[in-house]
Every structure is written in structure tokens, then in C-alpha cells.
Chain A
């Protein structure tokens, strides 16, 4: 048996459904005339688990011979890591150094995602994007960002 993307989805559905039922029972089901906050999580969680198990069964029985499908194809590993790293670093920097340095870091890391990009384009591109972002959010909409924030 090869591991198939449908196995992952089946496990996700079954597990999420199970958690929803468990938590829902804790929140209180109530009864039909006076449903508690846990009623929908229990009902929907059960449904989701049933669908999850059905998918798992089908993936195991029916696709036994099918080739495994990679959840992340090789050519998308680089953009996946680079984009998420860029967002994560932005979230770490934004409260500490202010908007402009954070956006520059975001662009720098995000730039690594595409192997076709050329380094010599990066400075001009960064400048252009920062200018447009500033134009829209800071000057256009007047949202009070801290542009630089070295205080911490």
C-alpha cells in the first residue's frame, strides 16, 4: 500500500471530527428543544468523521495500485518554504523595527521563492513595491503605521 493524498485527507477529516465531538460533549449538547453550544460540533464532527473514514477506506481499498501523490511537489518546496518564512519573519519584525524594515525583509525572503528571479532586479523592485505600499496605505488611506520603530 502506498500513501496517497486521500489518506491524508481522510485522517484529517476523521481526526478533526473526533476532536470536534470530544470538545462539543465538553461544551454541552443540551437536548433537541434547547441545544447547547456543543450540539453542532458533535453532530458535524460525527458527520465529518464518517466522511473521513469513508475516504480512508476508499483510498486503502481502491487506490492500492495507484502511484503515491506527493503532498508537496518537488518544484513547490522552495516557494512553500520561502513564502512562509517571509511571512513568519515579518510577524517577528513588525512589532520590533516598524513597517519599512519589515516589508524590506519580507520582499527579500519572498524573493528567494522563485529561482528565475535575478538579483540585480531586487533593489529597484524593492524600492518600487515599498513606494506603492507607502503610497496606498500611508499616504492614501492614512493608516497610522510606525514606519520605523527602533525604540525596543
Chain B
């Protein structure tokens, strides 16, 4: 216990240094801004900033990127409530009741409930990281190569089973990503793979260039094609404090949302949108008057907002302690850690206590900053919406290009960016999950290394994945999901063919 307190104290001390406070503030401000702006999300923003984090100290870059991520989960609710426009997918269900509350003149209460609920959930989430991560690290410390290989297999299959576009395209995209991740010199033998004689490819594909091309370039193209500029609707915020009745309805919902979100956040593939959506469904089904939902029920705002914020914090646990990210944003975050030369995993707490506890400390400080940023400054964020997308995308484009060029001062990087822009756009259009692609890319080298090492330790006996209980669990789970998903694919195909 004393250990825990002194660790938290260390974390707060690291996070409260002037530099890190600045990165934290910058992160949560950027996060709130992109949470408000439709068409620019945390994935694009973190991709764009990856090239810039090369120059920052590890603590600074991690604190900055994390701030963007949970800041966006926070800020996405503002426009949902005031304008019925979800800034992020995770806030889409907040529109249902939040916007109705705003129309009834209770916008201030809705915003306050969302912000305070998020703050509570964020605090719990941060505490959970501080408590659960060391425990998980001591389990993960027992993992050998076989366990890691089995875990990556299981995580990819599980994520693919709920991927956009279906299982087969999802797992296929992941395998494409893994193969791309293998490009470059093989660590064990030094053989150059998939380089096609191009010298620049020998170090592998640059992660930042891939992320910007895949996400930012393709997103710009589809957003220009599909949406108009949102019209600004003015809405009165009203009194910024919920009344006693609203408070009484909100707090149990916040508790349930926090619990559900904390749990779902740790699972691979579940993500923020799923946690807020399930929290809403739970509230609606246990409510004595389900009819109130959709016409301004306080629980319909409180629970999903708490859930997506709790999930955004606990998602860090598997990413940091196992090195296995559950979502594309976490994959980008993991990539940023690797760029900094930090190896996530069970040894991270002992090897980099400053970094780990500093991040935990900054999350709590960041959550506090977010309450202040979101409540009194609400008017500022609403004016941001007046920036039309046809101005915004040109800035994103210029920022992406200059950022990528600054990595290696090589025009070849820009050509690579063009190629991945095309690949990302076409995959997206064909309904293949880009999230699976980037997860495969990040996890691929880790999978290969552990898979080969496990088999070499067992002298080529594949039973090594089955003789060990933890590895066996992952393998059985993975194969069960694989079988279920392929059976449903075949059955659906047969049914449609018969029709």
C-alpha cells in the first residue's frame, strides 16, 4: 500500500513539472478541439503528430498523445448535446438524450452531467490503471514466447470478429498489415524481405508515414466527397449546474457506466463507441420508465459519457502492460512508444517508473483540466465549429506533408505517403478495416519474433503452444472465435447463394 502511494506521488511529481504540465494541457486542448470538430478525430491527429514526437522526451510525447486521446472522448460530447452532431463516434448515443435536454433548455445541466460524469469515470479509470497494471504486469512477467504469440493470435482474431466489414475481410486486412510489418531486414538472419531492391525500404516501412497515409489522406478524400459544412446552430447553454432531481438520477448511472466502460475498455476491439452504446442500452433496459429515453433522460447522457471516458483510460492497461493494443488509437500510441525506444510490457513499470507513473499522474491532472476546459469555456469550442471543412482539410494536408517530410528530409517519404493514401482509401472503400491493418502492422514483428523463438525453444515441437495453460487458453479461445466466425461466413454465403 505504501508502495502504491509513493508510486502515485512519483507520478504526480513527474506530471506536475512545468514541461509535462504544458504537454498535458496541449494534449487535452487539442483533444477537446478535435473532439468538437467533425471530420478530424484522435486517429488522424495522433498520426499527424507522430513525426513531431521524435524530438520530444519520452514522458512529454506520451503525455501529449494520451491527452489527445482522452480529451477527444471528453470533447465529443459537447457538440452532441448542443448541436446534435457527434464529434466522435463514441458520442453518437449522447445525441439521443443530450440534444433533447438542450432543446428543453437544459443544455447546461447536460453538459455539466457529461463533464462531471466523465471526470468521475476518468478518476476511477486512472486509479484502476494504477492498481491493475502492476498486478497485470506480474502475471505478464510469467509469459514466455509461446504465451505472447498465442495472445497476439487471440487478440487479432477477437478484434477481427467485430471488425467493420466482417470477419474475413478484417482478418485478411490484419494479415496484410503483418506482412507489411515484416518488410525490411529480418532481425534473426539479416535477410532483406519485401524490399524489391529499394535501399530505403531496408529499415522497414516508417510507422508515422504509414499512419498518416492510411488514416489522414484517405479520411480527407472521403470527407470532402461526403459531407457539407455543418451549419452553425446557436443554442442557449442555460444554467450550468444540474438540479437535485437530475443529480439523483445521474449518479447511479455514472457508477454503472464507469464499471461497464472500465471493463470493456480493456478488451481488444471493443473500443469507446461500443462502451458508450452498451452503457446506454443497459440504462434503458433497467429503467422503470424506458419511455423517457430519447426525450431527455439524464441517465442517457450520464452513463454513456462515463463509460466512454472510463474505457479510454483502461484501454491503456493491455497496451502498456502486454504491448498488445486493443484499438487503432492504442496501436498508434504503441507505435509512438516504440519510436521513443520504450518497450511496453511487464518490465516497463520497473524499467521506466518515471514514464509509467508520470503518465498515470498526468491522466488525472488532464481530467481535471478537461472539466475546466469544457464547462466555463464552452462558448469557445462552439465557435470552432464555424471553421468550414474546406479550410480545415487544406491545413491538415499541409501539416501532414511537412510533418512527414521533416522525418527524414526525403521526397521518397512523400511518395510512400501517396501510395499508402491510395491503399488506405481503396481498402476503406472496399469495406476493409484500416484498424485491423494497423493492428497487424504493429503486432506483426512481435508475433513473428515470439512465434519463432517459442518453436526454437521447444526444438520445433508445436505442442509448446498447447502444453502451457495460459497459452492453451489463448489458443482455444482464438480457435473458437475463428471457427464461429468462419462458420457464420460460410452459412451466410450458402444462404445468399440459395436465395
Q: Please report A residues at the B interface, Cβ cutoff 8 Å.
A: 5-6, 8-9, 13, 16-17, 20, 23, 27-28, 31-41, 44-45, 47-48, 51-52, 54-55, 57-58, 61-64, 71-73, 75-76, 78-80, 83-84, 86-88, 90-92, 94-95, 99, 103, 106-107, 110-111, 113-114, 116-117, 121, 125, 129-130, 132-133, 136-137, 141, 143, 145
Q: Which of A32, A133, A137 contacts B462 (CB 8 A)?
A: A32
Assuming the contacts A9-B430, A44-B179, A87-B421, asked whether A103 and B456 have C-beta atoms less than 8 A apart, the reply is no
Chain A CB within 10 A, most for which of B397, B429, B459: B397
A83 touches B421 (CB 8 A): yes
Question: Which of B182, B222, B418, B432 touches A91 (beta carbons < 8 Å)?
Answer: B418
A32's partner among B55, B406, B430, B455 (CB-CB below 8 A) is: B455
Assess whether A8 is in contact with B430, with CB atoms less than 8 Å apart.
yes
Q: 17 extra interchain contacts, Cβ-Cβ under 8 A, other than A47-B175, A62-B497, A84-B421? A: A17-B175, A23-B193, A28-B189, A33-B459, A40-B452, A52-B172, A54-B489, A58-B493, A61-B493, A62-B492, A62-B493, A63-B496, A71-B429, A79-B220, A83-B397, A110-B398, A129-B395
User: Is residue B169 within 8 Å, beta carbon to beta carbon, of the partner chain?
Assistant: yes
Which residues on the A side are within 8 Å of B234 (C-beta)? Answer: none
Interface check B376, CB cutoff 8 A: no
Using a CB-CB cutoff of 8 Å, which residues 359-402 of chain B contact chain A? Answer: 389-391, 393-395, 397-399, 401-402
Closest chain A residue, CB of each to CB of B217: A83
Which B residue's beta carbon lies closest to that of A24?
A: B193
CA distance A99 to B422 in the complex (A): 24
The 4 closest A-B pairs by CB, nearest first: A33-B460, A32-B460, A76-B225, A91-B414
B229 partner residues in chain A, CB cutoff 8 A? 116
Determine the chain B residues whose CB is within 8 A of the CB of A36 once the complex forms.
189, 191
Docked pose: A39 CA to B418 CA in angstroms = 30
A71 near B455 with CB under 8 A, answer no
Question: B339 CB to closest chain A CB, in angstroms?
Answer: 16
Could you mark each residue 156-180 of chain B with 1 if its beta carbon is under 8 Å from any beta carbon of chain A, else 0? 0000000000001101100110110
Q: A5-B429, A36-B189 are in contact. Are A13 and B455 (CB under 8 A)?
A: no
Is the beta-carbon distance between B220 and A83 smaller than 8 angstroms? yes
Is A20 in contact with B418, judged by CB distance below 8 angstroms? no
B429 touches A37 (CB 8 A): no
| B188 touching A33, Cβ below 8 Å | no
Closest Cβ–Cβ distance, residue A56 to chain B (whole Å): 11
CB of B179 within 8 A of CB of A106, answer no
Known: A86-B397, A91-B414, A116-B228. A55 touches B193 (CB 8 A): no
CA A129 to CA B394, docked complex, whole Å: 8
30 contacts between A and B (CB under 8 A): A16-B179, A23-B193, A27-B186, A27-B193, A32-B460, A37-B186, A37-B188, A37-B189, A37-B191, A40-B182, A41-B182, A41-B193, A48-B172, A48-B175, A48-B176, A54-B489, A76-B226, A87-B414, A87-B417, A87-B418, A90-B414, A91-B411, A106-B398, A113-B221, A114-B389, A116-B229, A125-B394, A137-B402, A141-B55, A141-B406
- B139 close to A (CB within 8 Å): no
> In the assembled complex, which residues on chain B have CB atoms less than 8 Å from the CB atom of A63?
496
A114 (CB) vs chain B CBs: closest residue: B390
Distance, CA A41 to CA B445, complexed state (A):
12
Q: Knowing A75-B226, A83-B421, A87-B417 touch, does A133 contact B172 (C-beta < 8 A)?
A: no
| Contact assessment for A133 and B418 in the assembled complex, using a CB-CB cutoff below 8 Å | no
- CB-based nearest B residue for A121: B391
- Contact call A62/B496, Cβ cutoff below 8 A: yes
Judge whether B221 and A80 touch: CB under 8 Å. yes
Contact across chains for B222 and A76 when beta carbons are under 8 A apart: yes
- CB <8 Å contact, A58 and B55: no
Q: Are B493 and A99 within 8 A (Cβ)?
A: no
Most buried by B among A51, A61, A64, A88: A51
Q: Which of chain B's residues have a CB closer than 8 A to the CB of A137? A: 402-403, 406
Known: A28-B191, A31-B460. Contact between A141 and B179, CB under 8 A?
no
User: Once bound together, how far apart are the Cα atoms of A47 and B482, in whole Å?
Assistant: 13
Provide the residues of chain A in CB contact with B497, threshold 8 Å: 61-62, 64
Q: Are B225 and A75 in contact (CB under 8 A)?
A: yes
Task: Judge whether A37 and B417 touch: CB under 8 Å.
Answer: no
Q: How far is the CA of A36 from the CA of B220 in the complex (A)?
A: 41
- A32: which B residues are within 8 A, CB to CB? 455, 460-462
B175: nearest chain-A partner, CB-CB: A48
- Complex CA–CA separation, A9 to B116 (angstroms): 45
Assess whether B194 is interfacial by the CB under 8 Å rule: yes
B429 to chain A, nearest CB (A): 6
A87 to B, closest residue via Cβ: B418
Nearest-neighbor residue (CB-CB) of B455 within chain A = A32
Q: Are A41 and B191 in contact (CB under 8 A)?
A: no
List residues of chain B with CB within 8 A of the CB of A16.
176, 179
Q: Does B415 contact A (CB under 8 A)?
A: yes
Is B203 on the interface with A (CB-CB < 8 A)?
Answer: no
Distance of A44 Cα from B177 Cα, bound (Å)? 11
Determine the residue in chain A with the shortest Cβ distance to B187: A37
Q: In the complex, what distance in Å separates the CA atom of A65 from the CA atom of B310?
A: 45
Q: A32-B455, A41-B179, A83-B220 are in contact. Are A132 and B186 (CB under 8 A)?
A: no
Contact indicator A79/B225 (Cβ below 8 Å): yes
A76 to B191 alpha-carbon distance, docked (Å): 41
Docked-complex contact A103 and B489, CB < 8 angstroms: no
A84 touches B422 (CB 8 A): yes
Given contacts A47-B175, A76-B221, A133-B402, contact A37 B168 (CB under 8 A): no
